[in-house]
Every structure is written in structure tokens, then in C-alpha cells.
């Protein structure tokens, strides 16, 4: 009788089998795979919050988080730098555009009356240059049109952020409290922007990541922000996060 040795299934075989089924699942049910990926990202995001500040103030709506940030500003002057503007929803909220507030009458404008805001918005206004999640190239485009906002001291920079961000005067930025809004979605332009602005960041400045659950923005936070600075999570929603700079680590 011939004996056949049972080799079993080794770790490499299991991994290959798992990869095969994942590929098959991606072909047959791409939406399910995307939902599983999103769930994994949200779990990772929640772990990040518990690790950095388990007592972070939680809000259901991001507008409520923004109100909290303006109430807790340290002075009367605030410089807002928005990276990724699109139609200008966030810009209109902070800049108190009258036409915008007439439509969104449920917002309490009194919360930001005390602030003198200087706003700088960066976007190509031609949409995503590459696919991101389920959004194809060109998503969020305004066909090159800059938002029509009725507010003083609002400046828009049209073009690739890697080129236009250099319009900011780093030394001048150091003289005011800053709120940096990351909403570019993509990793490379977000990282480039952070590295350029980093030299101007000081205690009290706030970095707001609108899609912090997404792995692109999570990497900016975990591999750069908390490496370069001592920080505190001020507030978060289930998707976004506001981080305050305490002091540089270098």
C-alpha cells in the first residue's frame, strides 16, 4: 500500500485562496467589496480617535462641529485655508454669505459673528483628476467656475494645489490663528499641501479633515501630523475630525 503524505494547506496557500475569493467577489459584487472596505476604514478611524483622545467631543453633524470650533477660537481673527472647495458649501458657511444663510435659515449665524475671517480657497474647480472611491474622474466639478460668494477677504486660487498653494505667505500666516480644512480627497495633493503649510503651524491652530475615515486622510494624520506635532482631538463626527496643534515635536 502506498502512503500519501497529507501536506495540508500552508499559510501561503490560504492567503492565495483568500485573494482569489476577494478578486472573485470584486468582480461579481463590487459594491459589497467597497462597503466592506469602508467599514474597515471606519473601524480604523474609530481606533485612531480612541488612541489619541477617547474623550473627544462627538457631533452627529459636521455643521455642529464647525460651530463648536468657532465658539472655541482663541481670538477675533481667524485665517481659514480650505483645500478642496468645489461648489463652496463650507466656504459659504464660515463666510456668512447672506444668500446662503437665507436658504439655510436653520443655521445660527450668531455663533460666528465675533470672528473676523480671512479665507483662502484652493481648487482646480474641474473635479477629481483621478477616481476616488466610487467617484469617477471629474466628480465635484464646477466646470472651472469659482463660487460666487458675497463676503469680504475671501480669495480663491484656481489650478492644481501643488502650484497654487505657494501663493500663501508662510511668515504672514504665523501671525494669526489658522483653521486648515482638508477636503481634497486624494493623498498626494493633501500631503503636498500639509508639508507646505506645516512650517506656519503654531499652538492653537486647527486641522480639520472632512473625510478622516478615508485611508488617504488617515495617513496624513498618522504618518505626518501626529509625528510632527503634539496634538489634541477637539471634536469629531463619524467621518470627520478636528485636531488642534499643541506644540511641535522638532
Phi-psi region of 8 (alpha: psi -120 to 50; beta: other; left: phi over 0): left
Q: What's the pLDDT at 110? A: 47
Q: Give φ, ψ of 47 to 5 degrees.
A: -65, -40
* Mean pLDDT computed over 1-10: 41
Neighbours of 69 (CB within 10 A): 20
In order of their start, the domains of the chain are 56-248 (3.40.50.150)
What is the DSSP code string of 83-117? E--TT-HHHHHHHT-HHHHHHSTTS-GGGGTT-EE
User: pLDDT tens for residues 176-196?
Assistant: 889 999 999 999 999 999 999
Whether pLDDT at 54 is above 80: yes
Q: Which of 73-82, 104-113, 154-163 is the most confident on average?
A: 154-163
Q: Which of 201, 140, 192 is nearest to 170 (CA)?
A: 201
Cα angle value 153/156/159 (rounded, 5°): 165
User: pLDDT tens for residues 106-131?
Assistant: 334 444 455 678 899 999 999 989 99
* Mean pLDDT computed over 25-43: 66
Q: Which of 225, 242, 233 is nearest to 49 (CA)?
A: 233
Whether pLDDT at 4 is above 50: no
CA distance 125 to 141: 5
Whether pLDDT at 25 is above 80: no
What is the DSSP code string of 108-161? -GGGGTT-EEEEEEEE-SS--SS-BTTBPTTTT--TTPPP----SSEEEEES-H
Q: What's the pLDDT at 150? A: 80
pLDDT grade for 10, boundaries at 50, 70 and 90? very low
pTM over 0.85: no
Q: Which of 15-24, 28-37, 212-221 has the lowest mean pLDDT?
A: 15-24
Share of the chain above pLDDT 70, in %: 76
Return the C-alpha cell found at 88: 463652496
Whether pLDDT at 132 is above 70: yes
Whether pLDDT at 102 is above 50: no
Share of the chain above pLDDT 90, in %: 51
Q: What's the pLDDT at 62? A: 92
* Mean pLDDT computed over 204-221: 94
Whether pLDDT at 61 is above 70: yes
Amino acid at each position: 500500500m502506498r502512503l500519501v503524505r497529507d501536506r495540508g494547506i500552508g499559510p501561503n496557500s490560504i492567503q492565495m485562496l483568500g485573494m482569489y475569493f476577494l478578486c472573485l467577489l470584486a468582480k461579481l459584487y463590487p459594491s459589497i467589496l467597497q462597503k466592506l472596505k469602508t467599514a474597515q476604514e471606519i473601524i480604523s478611524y474609530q481606533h485612531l480617535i480612541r488612541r489619541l483622545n477617547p474623550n473627544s467631543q462627538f457631533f452627529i453633524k459636521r455643521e455642529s462641529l464647525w460651530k463648536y470650533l468657532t465658539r472655541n477660537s482663541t481670538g477675533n481673527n481667524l485665517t481659514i485655508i480650505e483645500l478642496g472647495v468645489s461648489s463652496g458649501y463650507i466656504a459659504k458657511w464660515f463666510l456668512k454669505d447672506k444668500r446662503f444663510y437665507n436658504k439655510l435659515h436653520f443655521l445660527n449665524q450668531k455663533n460666528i459673528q465675533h470672528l473676523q475671517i480671512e479665507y483662502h480657497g484652493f481648487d482646480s474647480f474641474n473635479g477629481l483628476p483621478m477616481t476616488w472611491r466610487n467617484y469617477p474622474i471629474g466628480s465635484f466639478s464646477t466646470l472651472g467656475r469659482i463660487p460666487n460668494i458675497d463676503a469680504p477677504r475671501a480669495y480663491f486660487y484656481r489650478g492644481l494645489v501643488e502650484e497654487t498653494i505657494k501663493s500663501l505667505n508662510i511668515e504672514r500666516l504665523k501671525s494669526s490663528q489658522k483653521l486648515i480644512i482638508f477636503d481634497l480627497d486624494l493623498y498626494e495633493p493633501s500631503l503636498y499641501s500639509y508639508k507646505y503649510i506645516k512650517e506656519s503651524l503654531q499652538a492653537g491652530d486647527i486641522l480639520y479633515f472632512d473625510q478622516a475615515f478615508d485611508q488617504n486622510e488617515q495617513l496624513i494624520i498618522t504618518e505626518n501630523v501626529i509625528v510632527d506635532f503634539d496634538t489634541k482631538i477637539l471634536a469629531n463626527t463619524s467621518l470627520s475630525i478636528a485636531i488642534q496643534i499643541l506644540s511641535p515635536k522638532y
